[in-house]
Chains A and B, each alone.
Chain A
Amino acid sequence: MDEPWSFDYNNMDSADVEKMYIKAAFKLAEEALDNGEVPVGCVMVFEGSIIAESRNTVNETKNAVRHAEMNCVDQVFEWCKKHERDSSLVFKNLHVFVNVEPCIMCASALRVLDIPQVVYGCNNERFGGCGSVMNIHNDEVPGFGRSLQVTSGVNADDAVKLLKLFYKGQNPNAPHPILKAQKLTELNQTS
Chain B
Amino acid sequence: SKTNVDLHISPWYLTPVLADKYYQHTESENVYVAEVLDQKMTAQLVKTLSSQYPLTGLSHVKRVRARANGKKNAGLEIIICRAIDVNINHLDSSSTSIQTEKIMKTDVSHLNALSEFCKLFVVPKYPPLTRKQYEQSSQLWPVQFHEDKYIARVMNNQVFTTSELNFIEQNMSLALKLAMVSKCHVGAVVVDPATKTVVARAHDFRNKHTLQHAVMVAIDLVAQGQNGGAWNRYGLQIGPNLQEAESLNDSCIKRENHTTSQSLDECCGKDCRLTKTSPYLCTGYDLYVTREPCTMCAMALVHSRIRRVFYGVSTPWGALGSRYKIHVWEGLNHHFEVWKGVLEKQCQL
Query: Can you add 7 more A-B contacts, CB < 8 Å, to A70-B211, A104-B295, A104-B299?
Result: A62-B226, A65-B216, A74-B234, A103-B299, A105-B299, A133-B332, A142-B317
Q: Which residue of A lies closest to B216 (CB)?
A: A65
Cβ-neighbour of A189 out of B233, B276, B294, B334 (below 8 A): B334
Contacts A74-B236, A78-B236, A103-B299 hold; do A63 and B326 have CB atoms under 8 A apart? no
B228 pairs with A63, CB closer than 8 A:
yes
Does B303 sit within 8 A of A, measured CB to CB?
Answer: yes
Q: Is B329 an interface residue (CB 8 A)?
A: yes
Return chain A residues, CB-CB under 8 Å to B333: 126, 189
| Distance A91 CA – B211 CA, assembled complex (angstroms) | 12
A-contact 0/1 string along B215-238, CB 8 Å cutoff: 010011011001111110110100
Q: Chain B, 302-320, contact with A by CB distance < 8 Å: what is the 0/1 string?
A: 1111000000000011000
Chain B contact residues: helix, strand, loop or mixed: loop
Q: Which residues from chain B contact A186 at a C-beta distance below 8 Å? A: 280
* B14 part of interface (Cβ distance < 8 Å): no
Check A143 against B219 for contact (C-beta < 8 Å): no
Given the known inter-chain contacts A62-B228, A70-B211, A144-B317, please indicate yes or no for A136 contacting B331, CB distance below 8 A: no
CB closest chain-A residue, reference B278 = A62
For B260-301 the 0/1 string (1 means CB < 8 A from A) is: 000000000000000110001110000000000011100110
- Give the CA-CA distance A140 to B125 in the complex, in Å: 31
What's the interface size class on B, roughly?
35 or more
B210 CB-CB contact with A under 8 Å: yes
Pairwise interchain contact A142-B316, C-beta atoms closer than 8 A: yes
When distances are taken between beta carbons in the complex, the residues of chain B under 8 Å from A62 are 223, 226-229, 281
Residue among B211, B303, B334 with max Cβ neighbours from chain A (10 Å): B303
Residues of chain B having any CB pair with chain A under 8 Å: 209-211, 216, 219-220, 222-223, 226-231, 233-234, 236, 275-276, 280-282, 294-296, 299-300, 302-305, 316-317, 323-324, 326, 329, 331-334
* A104 to B299 CA separation, bound complex (whole angstroms): 6
Given contacts A105-B296, A133-B331, A190-B303, contact A60 B228 (CB under 8 A): yes
- List residues of chain A with CB within 8 A of the CB of B275: 179, 182
Q: Given the complex, which residues of A lie within 8 Å of B226, measured CB to CB? A: 62
Chain A positions within 8 Å of B, measured between CB atoms, are: 57, 60-66, 70-71, 73-74, 77-78, 87-88, 91, 103-105, 108-109, 112-113, 126-127, 129, 133-134, 136, 141-144, 179, 182, 186, 189-190
Question: Could you tell me if B296 and A108 are in contact, using CB atoms closer than 8 angstroms?
Answer: yes
For this complex, 14 residue pairs linking A to B, each with C-beta atoms less than 8 Å apart, are: A63-B219, A63-B230, A64-B282, A65-B216, A65-B219, A87-B210, A108-B295, A112-B211, A112-B294, A134-B324, A134-B329, A141-B317, A141-B323, A182-B276
Out of B210, B229, B324, B332, name the residue touching A61 (CB < 8 Å): B229
Q: How far is the CA of A107 from the CA of B256 in the complex (A)?
A: 31
Q: What residues on B are CB-neighbors of A60 within 8 Å?
A: 228
Chain A residue, CB-CB nearest to B226:
A62
Please state if B210 and A63 are interface contacts (CB–CB under 8 Å): no
In the complex the two chains form, is A113's CB within 8 Å of B210's CB?
Answer: yes
Shortest Cβ distance from residue B220 to the other chain A in the assembled complex, whole angstroms: 6
Chain A residues within an 8 Å CB radius of B317: 141-144
Contact (Cβ within 8 A) A64 B300: yes
Smallest beta-carbon distance B276→chain A, Å: 8
| A141→B3 CA distance, assembly (Å) | 36
Q: Pick the contact of B230 from A57, A88, A134, A144 — CB < 8 Å?
A: A57
Interchain CB contact under 8 A, A65 and B304: yes
In this complex, the member of A57, A63, A104, A113 whose beta carbon has the largest number of chain B beta carbons within 10 angstroms is A63
